[in-house]
Amino acid sequence: MTSQWARAVPVPADCAQARSHVATASRFLKDSMVEGISNEMRYGALYDSARNAITGVLAAAGIRITDDRGGHAETIREVRNHLGAEHATSLQRLNAALKKRNQMQYHNANIAVAEADALEQDAIALAKAALEFVNERCPG
């Protein structure tokens, strides 16, 4: 069985799905701010917040990423086409965060406070940008 790499495919825009992902992003952001959680739990929640935010952007834009290898990385690459250059740095750092999150999940890597703090800034920026994008594409 040959494994394929994930790719972006056009689909009808799904505003309900887009709003759901943006709401989930907001919920994960709130979860990441719970007092006393570990840096690893915080980092995971922040990564999931950012991932849901950008998935919401793609749902509103009418783009779906196939369920093949590298789906998260392809999502990050594709959303650059929709959020604009002002979010390129946050998306680049999110791609690096994907690698760190994988190390944490699969190899028990530790997360420093500074790493979680840096991801928090990007997760907040991407959640805000996603909300604005979805509201523009899906009025009402």
pLDDT at 108: 80
Strand spans (E) along the chain: 8-10, 63-65
The count of other CB atoms within 10 Å of the CB of residue 102 is 13
Each residue's pLDDT, cut to its tens digit, for the chain (140 residues) gives 557 999 999 999 999 999 999 999 999 999 999 999 999 999 999 999 999 999 999 999 999 999 989 888 899 889 999 998 899 999 999 888 877 887 777 778 899 999 999 999 999 999 999 999 999 999 87
Domain 12-137 annotated CATH 3.40.47.10: no
Which uninterrupted H or E stretch holds 77? helix 71-83
Q: What is the pLDDT of residue 2?
A: 57
d(CA 125, CA 106): 27
The predicted pLDDT at position 36 comes to: 95
- pTM greater than 0.95: no
Alpha-carbon span 99 to 79, nearest angstrom:
18
d(CA 120, CA 56): 18
